[in-house]
Amino acid sequence: MLEAIAARLGRLLVLAALLFLATTTIAVGQFREDMHSKLLAGENVFFDQRQPRETRTIKAEWIRDAAEKNVPINILGAVVLGNLDLSYHTFNTRVKIVASTFENNVDFSYSNFKNESSFSGEFKNGANFEGANFQNGAGFGGAFTNANFNGITVNGVFEATQTEFTVGATFQRAKFGGDVRFTAAKFLTQANFDLCEFRGNAAFSQADFSKSVTFEQAHFWAGAGFGGLPSMKQLNAKFQARAVFDRAIFDYIADFRGVTFEEEVSFRWTKSNALITFEGALFKKDVEFFQVELSDVNFDGSAFRGKASFEGTHVTGAAGFGRSASAGVCRFYQPVNFADVEIGIATFGRYTEFKGPVVFDAATFGDTSGFLDVDFDSSVEFADTRFTGTAVFRGVVFHDKADFRFARFEGTSVFGSSPLRQLEFEKDTSFSGAVFERGLTIVGAKFLGETYFVGTKFRSSTTVITTEFHSSADFRQAQLQGPAYFGSEVRTEPAKSTTMCFSSVNFNYAIFENDAHFEGARFEGSLSLRGTQFKALWFSPTGQVDGHEQFSSTIDLRGAVYDRIETDWKALLINSNGGRRQEPYDRQPYVQLQQALKSAGLEGPADDVYLEQMKNETHARRWNSRWYYLIYGKVFNYGVGARPWLAVALIFALGAILFSLPGATTSERYTGATLLPRIWAGMGLSFRYLLPFNLPFESAWKPRGWAVHVANSIRLIGWILIPILVLIVTGVIHRSPK
């Protein structure tokens, strides 16, 4: 009995299940037929996404049927089965398929959307919109796999905020007529925006590019926003792989503030007609701005952890680096290349640091170029650089070598301290071959390494150098056209001294076409002016600078020429120990100094210089001729003053007295002569024997006895003194040669 009852109950349950299944199938079929009918009628087809997938599934062909009937398509939350192929189709009404899942391929390529269109959800097997034309904007959202938007045309807003792209995302040659919004979009695949046209504002803030992205030859007609908040990196675009903007064009502001570039980034041949800002941007790998053409660019607070190349970049307006404390430090960790750049107004502010080598070779700076409190930790090169406007280097610290060889400064140039710190060159520095067309001022600087100005041309109206050279300074063959002030205030007469010091300095064969002022310069090492040409040369008139000797070592003045000089000649020629400062000895420096002093009416100092010259020449003579110069100096004072005439007069007077004594002379004509005739006879004999030659007539008086020896002695002395006196009178051995 019980078994029979159980069997009947089982059969009843099976029949009930079959009845439910049949009823459900009929209901689902009826439901789907209803959805199909709604689509064909252009009605909304909305599903609750919390419902099972089976109850939300529609066929792709139903959408195609609705499109062919040219009715509005408005679907929400559906699951679309089958390939949806509506390529080359024209949609005259609204198309809106949102929050839906496309299980198979979707193809709207070369379709024409004349009304509003939106697509969002999950596209699992590819979405092809290549060549599509969206005349009234387009919205996209959700997740796209193999998304192809190549060549699309959008006349309204293109909305893709928070959209996710996987496997592939390509927008080549797309034309966006309105604003484009990829805000917070995620590109988990390679993205390609090559040759795109963005005629409205393009927003990529918070976008995350996990793979490489390219914007080659993309054209941004309006604003391009990839960042905006440097202090909040999470709100700005992030490039986790290589980013390429080669040949891109930005016609309006391009905003990369706070953007992070994890890998290499390239802006080769990029062009910007408005401000492009990288304030607070982070470049973790190499970045290249090769031959970029920019209007204005801002790198305040940017960090370059890889190599940075700006070679050939042309900035018509302003380029700023590290100008603002609020933006942070603009720091370059690796080598930087600015070779061949052209910048209208360049400012490298106090918040700029270069950790690696920097190259500015052949760069051109326009109206203003300012380097203010910048740190160059490694070598820096400005070789062949051209500064067409004002060039300012204040408070800069060059921790390694600085190379300005053959640089051309066409405007005013200023090198000096800032309110914060002193300008310092800690290693070797070279300005050799450089040209300064206008005023040059180097004030308050410190050169710790060797400094070279070899062949430098100072064509400026005024050159002022008031600085400290702690190692050798080389100005060989330099040319200075205007007044030059070394440690002296400009345009004061006499120049007011302002302390500066040279360790050792070389001006050999330099040409000073105007006055050279060294009143406030201290020379702690050797000073070489060999072959240097001056118009007027000014040293300290007291030989002292701030209580110290102006010259502490040797001076080489060989071949130096000048029309006028102001100096303490003793300080110039004699060291503190009384020895000769001019090394090696040469007559020309002394003769040149005598000429300048005599032309200035300073006969006394000129004579003193001549005496110093002769003293040095006497000591320089060989022993066999030195005795003559010793006598010449001791007796005749080297022809200076009245001593030569006094010596001759003394010998003459002494001879006259001796010959006037009784018994000193005899005469056949005069016997028993009184005193007066003897005096006249003594004077005549003294004059006769003092001459180094015999007179053509006989004397009535002759010496006798001991007076004969006196006569011979006077004759011997006359042979020496009279020729020397004649040479002095005729100028043959005069101290100032003709």
Structure tokens at 369: 């170029």
pLDDT at 735: 45
Is residue 126 predicted with pLDDT exceeding 80? Answer: yes
Tens digit of each residue's pLDDT (9 = 90 or more) over 67-125: 999 999 999 999 999 999 999 999 999 999 999 999 999 999 999 999 999 999 999 99
Q: State mean pLDDT over 221-238.
A: 82
**Cβ(406)–Cβ(427) under 8 Å?**
no
**Higher-confidence position of 575 and 425:** 425
| Pairing between β-strand 208-209 and β-strand 186-187 as defined by DSSP bridges | parallel
Q: State mean pLDDT over 465-474.
A: 91
Structure tokens at 203: 């927003």
**Cβ(316)–Cβ(338) under 8 Å?**
no
Question: Domain for residue 546, yes or no?
Answer: no
Q: Which of 451-455, 459-463, 501-505, 581-585 has the lowest mean pLDDT?
A: 459-463
Question: Domain for residue 511, yes or no?
Answer: no
Picking from 356, 378, 405, the residue at the C-terminal end of a domain is 356
- Mean confidence (pLDDT) of the chain: 86
Question: Domain for residue 291, yes or no?
Answer: yes
Structure tokens at 103: 């299980």
Q: What is the DSSP letter of 479?
A: E
Picking from 356, 379, 410, the residue at the C-terminal end of a domain is 356
Is residue 626 predicted with pLDDT exceeding 60? Answer: no
Picking from 314, 340, 356, the residue at the C-terminal end of a domain is 356
Domains in the chain, number: 2
Q: Which of 124-128, 318-322, 376-380, 661-665 has the lowest mean pLDDT?
A: 661-665
Question: Domain for residue 196, yes or no?
Answer: yes
What is the band of 496 on the pLDDT scale with cuts at 50, 70, 90? very low
Spell out where 105-223 has E strands. 106-107, 112-113, 117-123, 127-128, 133-134, 138-148, 153-154, 158-159, 164-170, 175-176, 180-181, 186-187, 191-192, 197-198, 202-203, 208-209, 213-214, 219-220
Q: What is the CA radius of gyration of the chain?
A: 50
pLDDT at 727: 66
Tens digit of each residue's pLDDT (9 = 90 or more) over 523-580: 999 999 999 999 999 999 999 998 889 999 999 999 999 999 999 999 999 988 888 8
Tens digit of each residue's pLDDT (9 = 90 or more) over 158-182: 999 999 999 999 999 999 999 999 9
Phi, psi at 19, each rounded to 5°: -65, -40
Structure tokens at 211: 């793979």
Residues 6+ apart with CB under 8 A from 288: 264, 265, 266, 267, 268, 308, 309
Question: Domain for residue 310, yes or no?
Answer: yes
| Residue span of the structural domain in which 711 resides | 636-730
Q: Can you tell me which residue has the tokens 């206008």? A: 438
Whether omega before 494 lies within 30 degrees of 0, making that bond cis, reads yes
Question: Domain for residue 108, yes or no?
Answer: no
| Pairing between β-strand 548-549 and β-strand 544-545 as defined by DSSP bridges | antiparallel
Structure tokens at 107: 């193809």
Question: Domain for residue 129, yes or no?
Answer: no
Phi, psi at 61, each rounded to 5°: -70, -25
What is the rounded distance in angstroms from the CA atom of residue 324 to the CA atom of residue 610?
64
Name which of 452, 394, 449 is nearest 418 in CA terms: 394
Question: Domain for residue 268, yes or no?
Answer: yes
Q: Can you tell me which residue has the tokens 């120990």? A: 577
Tens digit of each residue's pLDDT (9 = 90 or more) over 664-705: 766 656 655 555 566 766 677 767 766 776 666 566 677 777
The model's pTM is 0.80
Phi, psi at 236, each rounded to 5°: -115, 165
pLDDT at 400: 97
Q: State mean pLDDT over 14-20.
A: 59
SS3 266: strand
Q: Which of 194-208, 267-281, 546-560, 594-608 has the lowest mean pLDDT?
A: 594-608
Name which of 334, 288, 346, 342 is nearest 312 in CA terms: 342
